[in-house]
Structure 1
Amino acid sequence: MKPTRKLHDLGQSLWLDNITRELLQSGSLERYIEELSVTGLTSNPTIFDHAIRSSGSYDEQIRREAAAGRSPEALFFELALADVTGAADLFRPTFERTDGVDGWVSLEVSPLLARETEATLAAAVDLHRRAARPNLLIKIPGTAEGLPAIEEAIFAGVPVNVTLLFTPAQYRAAAEAYLRGIERRIEAGLNPAVASVASLFVSRWDVAVRGNVPEELLDRLGIAVAGQAYRGYRELLSSARFQRAANAGARAQRLLWASTGTKNPAAPDTLYVTALAAPFTVDTLPESTLLAFADHGTRGALMPPDGGDCDAVLARFADAGVNVEALGARLQDEGAAAFVASWHDLLDRIASKSAAIAATGQA
């Protein structure tokens, strides 16, 4: 039995953190679903930028959309919607088999809207309507300005992937926003079964402190932070507040591990996948990490519901001068800025490719 199947069988969902048109057209995504137990997919501007830059498979659609006078941003969403709806259709059997617990794909609103609540909400509602797929999650950043948009999107019945979460406190704020939206639906007599995941970024913690902590603490910060967040997640699931909502038909907002590719070449390439094994969570894997774990990964002990030694490990980081809350706030700000930079790169790429295709008359 493949290691990916073992993780799936213990109750963890494995989602691919990648999408390209070749992945869809070549049958590779179908193979990952059938052979590697992949049950969902996430995307972001950087992924699409790489896909469009390194492939000619988008050229025909770019030519058509550009000829129709679409702006680079409008053109991008046409390209992205074509890919994510194709992926959503491949995951539709999983979605139906699990009654909507799994089988999701994610598409992000423009990162330029990360600090604009109303514009974020409007974009989320519009993208979900245009996709017309029940298993599409709209990614909204869990920034202070994003939290009201998350609550309103959930109240409007739009499934949400809360992204750019780093600290347990940021996770709790996202979970609160989700629950408020669900409780408002219950009060209004609406169906409260609106899905959501909360994406906690892991490996970026370890990149941020590398070179500033003792060697014995290398690659341990992200996992320790994840342990604290997991403890908060389990406490929320057992809380009277969530159980009241569940009794009315609400679903749990699942905790999702993001940024799980190993950045330290001296560390195991499956480091985070092994450490973050936990039932009723989602692990999003870059394609290289998925293939590595399928090939030689091992399933270690499950994450303890109480976070295990996470508090002791974090205390050692504090002794080494790491202020986790301040660093988490910085990482969220840097993450939002990085997504904006990727977004501009992506739109520039589309504009230049549109011009090149038009100039050469390529189809």
Structure 2
Amino acid sequence: MKATQKLHDLGQSLWVDNISRQMLDEGLLEKYIRDYSVTGLTSNPTIFDHAIAKSHRYDESIAAGVSRGLEGEALFFELAMEDLRRAADLFRPIYDSTKGLDGQVSLEVSPLLAYETDRTLKEAKRIYGAMDCPNLLIKIPGTKEGLPAIAGSIADGVSVNVTLLFSAHQYAAAADAYMNGLERRKAAGLPLDAVSSVASIFISRWDKATTGKVPARLQNKLGIAVAKQAYRAYCEILASDRWRSLEKSGAKPQRLLWASTGTKDPKASDILYVRSLAAPKTINTMPEETLLAFADHGEFGELLPADGGDAATLLAEFREAGIDDHALAEQLQRDGADSFIASWKDLLRSIAERGTLLQRA
């Protein structure tokens, strides 16, 4: 039995953190579903930038969009929706069989809106309505301004992937926003099982940010310590009276998702953040190369401890080494938002340049 199947069987969903027209046209995504137990997919501006800039498979769609007067974000979302509808169709049987708990795909609102609540809420509703796809999650960053938009989206029936979370504290705020949205739906007499959510905590960026700044014995351990702390918060929230009341009314849990799980350190194991983050009722979304590596030589030992295990001890050691994890979490979230904005601008530039070349041709 493949390691991917074993991980799936213990209750952790494996999603692939990539999408491209090549994956769809050549049947790669179908293969991942069939052979590697993949049950969902995430995307982001960087992924689409790479997919579109390095392929001519989008040329026909770009040319058609330009001929209709589309440009910029409007043209991008049309391209992205084409891909994600195809992916969503492949995952739809999983979505149906799990009653909406799995089998989802994600599409992000414009990163330019990371600090604008009202525009994020409006755009989330627009994209969700345009896709008309029940197994779509709209990615909204868990920034201070994004949290009210998350609550509002859930209240309005828009399923959400909360992105750019970096700590247990940020995760707890995202969980609060999800439950707030559900409580608003309940007060309005709306069905709670019509919406769902995941909360995405980025892992490897912690270790990349502290490379060369901590003793060798602590290298590549901060991301996992943060994950353990977040998992403890997750278990506590699922056991809380507030959540149990919502669950009794039909609400689906906001599953914890491990993101940024490709190993950045070439000296470390290429499956470090998969084997170390095994836990039931969670998701690990991983790059294709990490998925293939885990399928080839994957293994995992003890599951994440519900009480956080040695997380507190490890975080104390990092603080002694000069790492302020609270300040770093905020910095990583800002840096992540800035990175997605840069990728977004590159993406729109690539599409515009390709459109111009196609027009001339």
Question: Do residues 314 (structure 1) and 315 (structure 2) align?
Answer: yes
- Matched to 1:336, the amino acid is A
Q: CA deviation at 1:216?
A: 0.3
Pair 1:331 & 2:332 matched: yes
Q: Residue 175 of structure 2 aligns with which residue?
A: 175
2:38 maps to what in 1?
Answer: 38
Contact 1:160–1:195 (8 Å) recurs in 2:
yes
The offset of 1:71, in angstroms, is 1.6
Query: Which residue is 1:11 aligned to?
Result: 11
Name the structure 1 match of 2:353: 352
1:274 Cα deviation from its structure 2 partner? 0.3
**CA displacement at 1:156 relative to structure 2:** 0.3
Matches within 5 A, 1:41-56: 41-56=41-56
Q: Which residue of 2 aligns with 1:271?
A: 272
Kindly report structure 1 stretches of 4+ aligned residues shifted beyond 6 Å.
none
Q: CA deviation at 1:73?
A: 1.2
Q: Is 2:229 aligned against 1:214?
A: no
Corresponding position of 2:206 = 205
Cross-structure match for 1:235 = 236
Distance in 1 between residues matched to 2:127 and 2:85, nearest whole Å: 11
1:1-363 residue pairs with structure 2 within 5 A?
A: 1-193=1-193, 194-360=195-361
The letter of the residue matching 1:178 is: Y
Moved more, 298-307 or 138-147: 298-307
Q: Residue 299 of structure 1: CA displacement?
A: 1.8
CA contact (8 A) 1:6 1:299 kept: no
Q: Distance in 1 between matches of 2:81 and 2:122?
A: 17
Amino acid at match of 1:77: F
Alpha carbons 1:121, 1:152 under 8 Å: kept:
yes
Partner-residue secondary structure (3-state), 2:279: coil
Unaligned stretches of 5+ in structure 1? none
Pairwise CA distance, 1:72: 1.8
State the Cα deviation string for residues 311-360 of structure 1 (Å, max 9, x = none): 11101001001000000000000000000000000000000010111112
Q: Which runs of 5+ in 2 are unaligned?
A: none
Number of matched pairs: 360
Q: State the Cα distance separating 1:187 from its structure 2 match.
A: 1.2
Equivalent-residue separation in structure 2 for 1:141 and 1:52 (angstroms): 23
Distance 1:73 1:12 in 2: 34
SS at match of 2:192: coil
Give 1:245's aligned amino acid: L
Aligned letter for 1:36? Y
CA drift of 1:248 comes to 0.8
| SS of alignment partner, residue 269 of structure 1 | coil
Task: For residue 227 of structure 1, report the CA deviation from its aligned partner.
Answer: 0.4
- How big is each residue's C-alpha offset from its partner over 1:127-153, in whole Å with a ceiling of 9 and x where there is no partner? 111111100000000000000000000
RMSD between aligned residues = 0.5
Supply the distance in 1 between the matched residues of 2:168 and 2:31 (Cα, whole angstroms). Answer: 35
Equivalent position amino acid for 1:282 in 2: I
Q: Percentage identity across aligned positions?
A: 59
The one-letter code of the counterpart of 1:87 is A
**1:300 CA displacement:** 1.4
- Distance in 2, Cα, partners of 1:249 & 1:91: 23
Q: What letter is aligned with 1:239? A: S
- CA contact under 8 A between 1:88 and 1:104: conserved in structure 2? yes
Q: Deviations over 1:234-293 (max 9, x none)?
A: 000001110011111111100000000000000000000000000000000100000000
* Partners of 1:200 and 1:43 in 2: CA distance: 15
Once residues 272 and 87 of structure 2 are traced to their aligned partners in structure 1, the CA distance between those partners, rounded to angstroms, is 28
Equivalent residue letter for 1:292: A
For 1:87 and 1:287, the matched residues in 2 are separated by 15
CA contact (8 A) 1:114 1:145 kept: yes
Aligned partners of 2:27 and 2:117: how far apart in 1? 38
Q: Which 10-residue stretch deviates more, 199-208 or 70-79?
A: 70-79
Q: Deviations over 1:167-210 (max 9, x none)?
A: 11100000000000001111111101220000000000000000
Q: What TM-score comes out, normalization by structure 1 length?
A: 0.99
